[in-house]
Structures are given as C-alpha cells and as structure tokens.
Amino acid sequence: MATKSLKARNNDIANTERQLEILSNGIFANRELPTFATKIKETNQFPLRPKKLEILQINLGYMCNQVCDHCHVDAGPDRNEIMTIETMNHCLEVINKTGAQTLDLTGGAPEMNPNFRWFVEEASKRGIKDFIVRSNLTIIKANKKYHDLPDFFKKHGVHVVSSLPHYTKGKTDKQRGNGVFDKSIEALKSLNKVGYGMPNSDLRLDLVYNPSGAFLPGNQQALEQDFKKALKADFDINFHNLFAITNLPISRFLDYLIASENYDDYMTALVDAYNPVAVQNVMCTNTISVSWDGFLYDCDFNQMLNLKVASNVQHISDYHEELLQNRNIVINQHCFGCTAGAGSSCQGVVA
C-alpha cells in the first residue's frame, strides 16, 4: 500500500493532461468503444446542460490522513493544497445568495483545513437546508484535537457522509490502509453515541460504498441491507443510508487500472452498462464544484482532471449563478462512470 500521493511520487498520472490523453486514446481512439459524446448523442442528450442548481460542493483541500488506493483526488498527508480564509470568504458570499439547497464539504479530509471549524460555524448560520461534511471517519480518531468532532457536527446540524468500503476488516483495510477499519468502527460508535445515524434521529449519518477494485457496485439497496445487518450484528452500529458510488477511471484508480491491466476491461464494463436514463440525473446537472483555490467545475471529478466550467465565470470571486447555469457541461470518457447501471453520484444511484 502506497503512503504517498502520485504527485509526491512524481507519477506520470499525477499530470491531468496525461490522464485525459489516456482517456481519449486506446480503445476509444480505435473505435472499439464509443466516446461518451457519441453515446449521449444517441438519445439527444448532447450537449449536456445543467438543470436547477441544488448542490454547492466545496473542496477544502487535498490534504488527508489516509492514502487510499483508489482516491480520485490523489489526496494524502503530503498534499498541501488547502483553501485559504480569503477563498472561504468568497464561498460564504456565494452561500448567502445561491439557490442551492445543499452545501457539501469535501476534501481530502476537510477537517484538516485549519479554518474548517470557523468555516462550518459561519456557513451553518446561513440557513442551508442540507449541510453535508464528507468525513473519512478515521480523522475523528487520528488525533486528540479531532475527538470532539461528533459533538461539533451535532452542534451545527451537519449531515455526516462517510466512506466505508466494506463491513469486513479485510476488504476495508486492503483499500484504505491497515487499521482503517478498526478506527472507522470506533468513529462510527462515537457518532452513534451523540445520536448520529440512530433510527428516527435527525442527525443524518450516511455511508458511502465504492468497490474495492475493478468492478462495478451492485444494487445499492441490497448492499445497504447487508451493511446494516453486519454492522448491527458485529458492532451494534447504526446508520441511515448507503450510497453506492462507482469508481471513476481517474487519478489513483486510473493508475491502478493500468498497472493491474484492467483498464480496457473496466472501460468496456462501464460502456456496456451505459444507461441513458442515468444521464438525465447525473450530478453535474445539479452541482457546482469549487476547488481549494476557488475555481469552478461541473463536478469533483472534472476538478481532479482540471477541466474547468465552460463559462466566462470560472472563479468563485466572479460567481454569477445565472451566467454559470447557461453553460455546456464538460464531458470526457470518465463520465461513463456516472452513467453505468443505476448511475452514480456523490448521493449514490441516480436511476
């Protein structure tokens, strides 16, 4: 298991242009597989256009206490891209005036941003309906200064969404690192203790499942039932919903696919599972993603590929929702990851 990001290892794939080159060449260039644009043209869904903006997703930085095998952010302890107070202030101004109902903070481990708590306090005053923090769980147990996070989240009515790849230790640790499963279980217990994830509790605790390798996620509802049954029986842990997310072929997962010689088969599986109904609700149609340095993207994945919004407004300091909504969404072959089967988004299935 790697302990450094691709960037720190000077890996070729840390270069976003190289990633885009890989996604345009090979089985797509020789037309063995159709491109994403060709596919959505079949159902007159090209160009892909935004619908009503519902989610503002803000990436507070790429620093993380974990170095998961398949991280699409290439996050890790060595990443020092962190959102500044200045950019946070721009974000708060936008939160004041946006029509979006959901604010979604992500990272890296967003809690590692030194101004995380200040930002959450400020943002929570602005009456957002659904305020999500994506927590990797282990951060809560990583250091004493994070131990009170469950209480902090509770105080500000934060909706906690956490990754847990499997309800068994073996599969979780293989993907996320040794010891991650035990720490995650401890963190879930702390969250349950203050009321998160309990039946009928307003303190929402949802889990994110993504496959531990080069295969697609199964039925979200069936997986949720399996997770609930196992976590309850083995650890007396409760949570609300499970979001099944497909691994997209970018960054560390792309590196893994290529190194394990699974790339062609995985892309074929994604294209074979293409579902035009999922295209209608794909998350880029209702989301704006803001990077640590304030640039705007159609989604978190486009952010990691450095594909900025195709708009005159490209930075949070120039934010203009109406102008921004009048744009074509930037697509590439990685988009097949969000339209396979029942579809995939940061909120789970979409079809």
| Bridge partners, 308 (sequence order) | 297
**H or E stretch covering 103:** strand 102-106
Q: How far is the CB of 170 from another protein (least distance, A)?
A: 7
Stretch that binds another protein, among 49-57, 92-100, 199-207, 213-221 (CB under 8 A): 213-221
Tell me, what DSSP letter sits at residue 63?
B
Of 92, 218, 275, 351, the residue at the interface with another protein (CB under 8 A) is 218
For residues 77-96, b (16+ Cβ closer than 10 Å) or e, as one string?
bbbebbbeeebbebbeebbe
Among 4, 9, 126, 171, binds another protein (CB under 8 A): 171
CA 140/CA 89 separation, integer angstroms: 26
Q: Which of 223, 245, 278, 284 binds another protein (CB under 8 A)?
A: 223
Identified binder of another protein from the candidate list 40, 68, 82, 216, rule CB under 8 A:
216
- For the CA atoms of 10, 15, 20, 22, what is the dihedral angle to 10 degrees? -20
CB nearer to another protein: give 76 or 217: 217
Q: Which residue has the tokens 């560390």?
A: 252
| Piece in contact with another protein (CB under 8 A), picked from 1-9, 122-130, 217-225, 287-295 | 217-225
Residue 259 Cα distances to 19, 129, 162, 220, 253, angstroms: 14, 43, 28, 28, 10
> Where does this chain touch another protein (CB under 8 A) — which range of 62-70, 188-196, 208-216, 289-297?
208-216
Of positions 119, 181, 209, 297, contacts another protein by CB under 8 A: 209
Give the one residue of 226, 293, 318, 321 binding another protein; rule: CB under 8 A: 226
Nearest to 247 by CA among 211, 271, 222: 211
- Pick from 213, 262, 280, 351 the residue near another protein by CB under 8 A: 213
* Span interacting with another protein, options 73-81, 205-213, 321-329, 342-350, rule CB under 8 A: 205-213
Q: How far is the CB of 218 from another protein (least distance, A)?
A: 4
Window 262-301: contact mask with another protein (x via CB under 8 A)? ------x---x-----------------------------
Instruction: Give the shortest CB-68-to-another protein separation in angstroms.
Output: 18
The pairing of beta strand 130-135 with beta strand 159-163: parallel
Minimum gap (Å) between residue 74 Cβ and another protein: 24
Amino acid identity of residue 154, one-letter, is K
Spatial distance between the Cα atoms of 334 and 23, rounded to a whole number of angstroms? 7
Task: Give the three-class secondary structure for 233.
Answer: helix
Nearest alpha-carbon partner for 131 in 113, 162, 157: 157
Rounded Cα distance between 164 and 266, Å, is: 22
Judge if the upstream peptide bond of residue 47 is cis by omega within 30 degrees of 0.
yes
Residue with tokens 């060449």, as numbered in its chain: 25
Is the Cβ–Cβ distance between 351 and 273 less than 8 Å?
no
Q: Does 50 bind another protein (CB under 8 A)?
A: no
How many residues of this chain interact with another protein, rule: CB under 8 A? 20
The yes or no reply on residue 7 touching another protein (CB under 8 A) is no
Closer residue to another protein in complex, CB, 275/311:
275
Q: Tell me the per-residue interface mask from 131 to 170 with another protein, x by CB under 8 A, - otherwise.
A: -----------------------------------xxx-x
What strands lie across the sheet with 296-297, from one edge to the other? 242-244, 205-209, 159-163, 130-135, 102-106, 55-59, 287-290, 296-297
Report in angstroms how near the CB of residue 213 gets to another protein at its nearest.
7
**Which residues in this chain contact another protein in the complex, by CB under 8 A?**
166-168, 170-171, 209, 211-213, 215-219, 222-223, 226-227, 268, 272
